[in-house]
Structure formats: structure tokens, C-alpha cells
Structure 1
Amino acid sequence: MIRSRRRAVLSALPLAVLAALLGGAAEPLPTPPMLAEAGWRMGAWHGMAPARFDPMPPRIRSAAGEAWALLPGVLLRAEPGEGGFVWRRLAGPPGCLAWRWRVDAGPPPTDLTRRGGEDRAISISVGFDGWPPEAGAWARARHAAAQAALGDGQPLPRSMLIYVWGGTGREPAPFFASPWLGGIGQVRVLRPADAPRGVWLEERVDLAAEWRAAFGAEGPPPLIKISIGTDTDDTRSRVHAAVADLRLEPCR
């Protein structure tokens, strides 16, 4: 299968997503100037044509001391079979992450709990600099190999929460283990694939509480990266979607 082949090679790219660390295959891409100016970097899945990502300026303004980080949003466009992601550093304590998103076109419902076929319109992946209890020797060894190849200057996430617009809505709730990430990644479906199209929907998650709920452990560790991605290679779908007004702020 296409997905199996593209995850057969270990990547040295500093991804916010950990698929590249755990048998995944990803490759860096030249980042368009406007996207780079907004602080994002592009990546693509090995063997898959890259999707298009364009920056969106924030539409909100944060009062002094209200938000720790206000990030430019992203427009996502993918033709059938395309996919990829953008990523950026996100350092500091895990407060509340808030954003708006919408999907005008995207894949049909897919089973996100299984390897292969799990296309989704949008995934927002938050990387943490600390291990969850379920991270076994295999996952840690792959992580160590990727980190050694990359060097110490760009540390890689050791655990990850993945928020998805996609899936059937019948996946285990609130979190389930990513089928690709060997105990390091936990997925939460916030909006299934059949959620209303063409309207902005608001989200806000308490990252500290979510990490504890997802991994069943005290913590959480500090943040390290965030990524926004899309995936259409199995269903051959088109994606037209957006994520706007990403902000990390204190939880109240």
C-alpha cells in the first residue's frame, strides 16, 4: 500500500508529528516565503504529492498578558492523493490551545483507529518534550535514532496529542492511541468528517488536562512543536479547509 511504503523509512526531519520517528517517511520541502515569514515550515509524506498551505493573518488581537502565543492560521488545499503538513516550534508550559477551523471539502468518514485508509481533512498535532508511560523501548529507540541523526540543536517531541477533523465519530472517546505512534501519540476526534461544512467552528482545549487524560499520568511536560496537516491518499479526496486564530493562552 502507498501508506505502508511511505512509512518504511526513518526521517531525520524535526516534525511536530511523530510518524516520521516511528517508522514514518517524511521529507522537507521548500517553504514559500509568505509561509516562512509566518513562522511555518513545510513537510510532505514520502511518495505523496504535497498539499498546498497558505498563511492566514490572525483576525483577533490579544490583550496584553492574555495570550502566550498568537499564531498565524493556515489555508489547506489538496487535490486527490495529496497530503502534507506545516510545523513550527511552540515552547513553554501547556496552557489552553484555542482556534477556529472550517472544512469546505474533505474526505468521507474513515476509520482513524486502523492503519491504512485513515484520511482526514485536518489534523492539529501538539508535541511535548516528555515521555508518556506507554512509551516502550521500541518507540524510545526509534526516537533516539532520529534525534541522533538530527542532532541536539532541534529536539524532537516525545509525546503528542492529535486533534482531528475527520473520522467516523465512532472512534473511542475521548482519546485513542494512534495506530502509527507506538504509545507516543493519542488522537481525539473533535469534529467527524460529516460535521457541517463551510462554517467556522470554535475549539478550546486544556492541554495539561488533556495530556493527563490521554496518557493516564501526571505531568504534563513542556510544549515543543505544533503542526497542521491533511491526508487524502487513500480516499483520493479533495480538501479545502482552514485553521485560523491559533492561540496558546492561560486556562481559567
Structure 2
Amino acid sequence: MRRLATPLTMTLLAGGAGPATPTTPLEAAGWHHAEWHGLTPARFRPLPEGGVAVEGRGEGSFVWRRVQGPAECLRWRWRVEAGPPPTDLTRASGDDRALAIAIGFAGWPARVSFWQRSQHAIAQAAAGSHPLPRSALLYVWGGTGREPPHFQSPHMAGLGMVRVLRPATTAHGRWFEEQVNLAADWRAAFGADPPPLQELVVGTDADDTRSRTEAQVEGFRFGPCR
């Protein structure tokens, strides 16, 4: 995955703020499409129930929207018709995936270093008026399935924790329902109680394997865990 040189500008959470007046179907649906430096963007379109579909071949980009509220549980459903083969998501090079759902939080981890704050500041300068989250959880459809249950994103200076929910070998053409406990995952990743939610991001990345990607995700619901 080729990205900018600074760790936090290599994440799913970079990009400029969307326009005040919607000009595309994605923006009318509340999503903003953003690109990674040096990558041809994938093609996103809105779906009912606040979802998105993505298509591409060897491409990568992401869409994001603002969210607010406490960290509770997040539910959604997703399916992949085509995606990259298994890649090692713990490495910064070659970590392609069909889909990644990222939740950005407004606060820092319980223990954050001066270096991490500095990397965040550099990324914020690149992002302009779009306030970047200070920590994130990422849930992925991709990878080998042999990654640790939770591991640091190799692109986020220790401010992003990854979970592989569906490895790349998961059956294509089927819907899968997901539920994740954001509060529990944030505590496990960063310690202390989680800060408020800030962003929901959906991304795809297939530039290293030059793979075809076709996937959908919809039905996002934040609420109490049950």
C-alpha cells in the first residue's frame, strides 16, 4: 500500500472536509469520498439504509461520515463478490483488503506519547479543516486469518487497533451480519473508558495485488449491546 510518508496520513482517516452543499449522490447520502496520495480511487456509490457499494481493480480510497454519541455497539452487514487474496495486514507493505470499517474517536488513548501527538499534528496539517480522530478501531474483511486477534495498524503510529472479522478466504456472494462492542474493544486496545465517537469510515485497498474488488456494506446501527 503506497501512501504518504507520515504514519497518520497513511490511514483510513485522512482527507479533506466535504463541501457544505451536496453535489454528488454520495454527499447527498451523507458520505464524503477521499483519496490516498498516489492511488487511483475506487468507485463508491450509496445504498439504501445508509450503506455504500464499492468497485475497483487495483484501486484504493475511502468514504467517511460524521457520527456522534457514546461508544456502545455497532452493527452492520456486508458482502464481498470479489476482493484481494490473503495478505499480511500486520505489515505496512502489501496489506490489501476488500473492506475496512473504521471508527474514529474524539479522544486520545490513555497513554499517548509526544511522538504520537506530533505525528497526529503533522497528519492534521495535511488534512486541513477536517478534524482527524485521535484514536481509531478498524474492523477488516481481508487478511490471512492468522493475524493476532487485535493488533496495531502499521500505518497509525499506535493510535489505531485492527481486528480481522472476515479473512480474505471468507465465502464470496453472501451477506454476513456483524456486531462489535466498541467500548470493550477500545478499552482492550487503549485502556480507560472510551471517548465519544467522531467518524465512521469505509475503505478498500487493492493496489499491491492489483485485484478486482466488488463489495457492499449497509445497515449501520449504533446502540446498546445485547
Given the two structures, how large is their TM-score scaled by the length of structure 2?
A: 0.91
Partner residue in 1 for 2:157: 182
Counterpart CA distance in 1 for 2:74 and 2:30 is 18
Q: Which of 38, 42, 49 is equivalent to 1:47?
A: 38
Change beyond 3 A, Cα 1:9–1:220: closer
1:93 aligns with 2:93: no
Partner residue in 1 for 2:183: 208
C-alpha contact 2:87 2:94 (8 A) present in aligned 1: yes
When the two chains are superposed, the root-mean-square deviation of aligned CA atoms in Å is 2.4
C-alpha contact 1:41 1:87 (8 A) present in aligned 2: yes
Counterpart CA distance in 2 for 1:157 and 1:117 is 25
Query: Greater shift after overlay, 26-35 or 164-173?
Result: 26-35
Deviation at 1:144, TM superposition (A): 2.5
Partner residue in 2 for 1:224: 198
| Paired AA for residue 248 in structure 1 | F
Deviations 1:208-252 (A, max 9, x none): 11111122x111100000100000110000000000111111223
Deviation at 1:91, TM superposition (A): 1.2
Q: Which of 119, 124, 127 is equivalent to 2:96?
A: 119
Equivalent position SS for 1:97: strand
Q: Which of 121, 135, 155 is equivalent to 2:131?
A: 155
Q: How many residues align?
A: 224
Counterpart CA distance in 2 for 1:43 and 1:185 is 19
Counterpart CA distance in 2 for 1:32 and 1:176 is 38
Deviations 1:111-141 (A, max 9, x none): 0001110000000000001111453212201
Question: Can you give the 5+ residue segments of structure 2 that lack an aligned partner in the other structure?
Answer: none
Partner residue in 2 for 1:33: 24
C-alpha contact 1:16 1:225 (8 A) present in aligned 2: no
Partner residue in 1 for 2:105: 128
Deviation at 1:156, TM superposition (A): 1.7
Partner residue in 2 for 1:23: none
Equivalent position SS for 1:92: coil
Equivalent position SS for 1:109: coil
Counterpart CA distance in 2 for 1:46 and 1:150 is 12
Question: Can you give the 5+ residue segments of structure 1 that lack an aligned partner in the other structure?
Answer: 21-25, 59-71
